Amino acid sequence: MANENLDLILIYEERTGDFLFLLGTILAFISNYQGEESLLTEKGLKAKTKEVDSALSITAASWLFFLASILFTHVAIIRLEELKSTSNEETSPVLTRGTKLLVVGNSLKTAGFGIAAIANQLKLSYYKYKF
Q: What is the pLDDT of residue 129?
A: 76
Q: What is the pLDDT of residue 128?
A: 78
End-to-end, the C-alpha distance of the chain in Å comes to: 57
Domain spans in the chain, listed from the N-terminal domain onward:
2-130
Confidence of residue 90 (pLDDT cuts 50, 70, 90): confident
pLDDT in tens, 110-131: 999 999 999 999 999 988 777 6
pLDDT higher for 32 or 61?
61
Mean pLDDT for 92-110 is: 94
pLDDT higher for 109 or 40?
109
Q: What is the pLDDT of residue 15?
A: 95
Q: What is the pLDDT of residue 19?
A: 95
**Rounded to two decimals, what is the model's pTM?**
0.81
Rounded to the nearest 10°, the torsion over CA 11, 75, 105, 84 is -120
Q: If we measure between CA atoms, which residue out of 41, 49, 31, 39 comes closest to residue 120?
A: 31
**Do residues 57 and 34 lie in contact, with contact meaning Cβ atoms separated by under 8 Å?**
yes
pLDDT in tens, 17-60: 999 999 999 999 998 888 888 777 755 555 556 778 888 999 99
